[in-house]
Amino acid sequence: MLKYSSKINKIRTFALSLIFVGFIVMYFGIFFRTKPIIMTIFMLLGLLFIIASTVVYFWIGMLSTKAVQVTCPSCGKVTKILGRVDICMYCNEPLTLDPALEGKEFNEGYNNKRKSKEL
Ligand SMILES: [Zn+2]
């Protein structure tokens, strides 16, 4: 079953996993201590992942400033909405800013202008 999660949370998880991948790649580089060139390649690759993660984190920061803060009707906590529909960061309640979509089943396609016309 496909589980939906808040967009900001999703991107955050992605950025965190990039850091882990970066460290794992760098860790493998240690096994090639005797071959400096291979070790350097692993280290640079690991560094690239970590840089990519920093960029993603920066991007989340930019997105967060554009996100609309709302109080979730289900759990009462303040959460952020990105796009027309999103999910509460705390209780996974589907939320929408568009009154026309209220009560409809959650569909991530509503965030895509072209796709939402087909729906
Ligand atoms: Zn909630």
Residues 57 and 93 in one domain: no
Q: How many domains does the chain have?
A: 2
- Let me know if residue 1 belongs to a domain: no
- Let me know if residue 44 belongs to a domain: yes
pLDDT tens for the chain, residues 1 to 119 = 456 788 888 899 999 999 999 999 999 999 998 999 999 999 999 999 999 999 999 999 888 888 889 999 999 999 998 888 899 989 988 888 887 777 777 777 777 766 666 55
CA of 50 to the centre of ligand 1 (A): 31
Residues 91 and 105 in one domain: yes
Residues 52 and 79 in one domain: no
CA of 106 to the centre of ligand 1 (A): 14
CA of 35 to the centre of ligand 1 (A): 52
Q: What is the pTM of this model?
A: 0.72
Give the domain extent around 84.
68-118
Residues 13 and 61 in one domain: yes
Residues 49 and 33: their CA atoms lie apart, in Å, by: 21
Residues 72 and 47 in one domain: no
CA of 94 to the centre of ligand 1 (A): 8
Whether the Cβ atoms of residue 110 and residue 84 lie closer than 8 Å to each other: yes
- Let me know if residue 2 belongs to a domain: no
3-state secondary structure the chain: CCCCCCHHHHHHHHHHHHHHHHHHHHHHHHCCCCCHHHHHHHHHHHHHHHHHHHHHHHHHHHHHHHCEEEECCCCCCEEEECCCEEECCCCCCEEECCHHHCCCCCCHHHHCHHHHHHC
CA of 85 to the centre of ligand 1 (A): 14
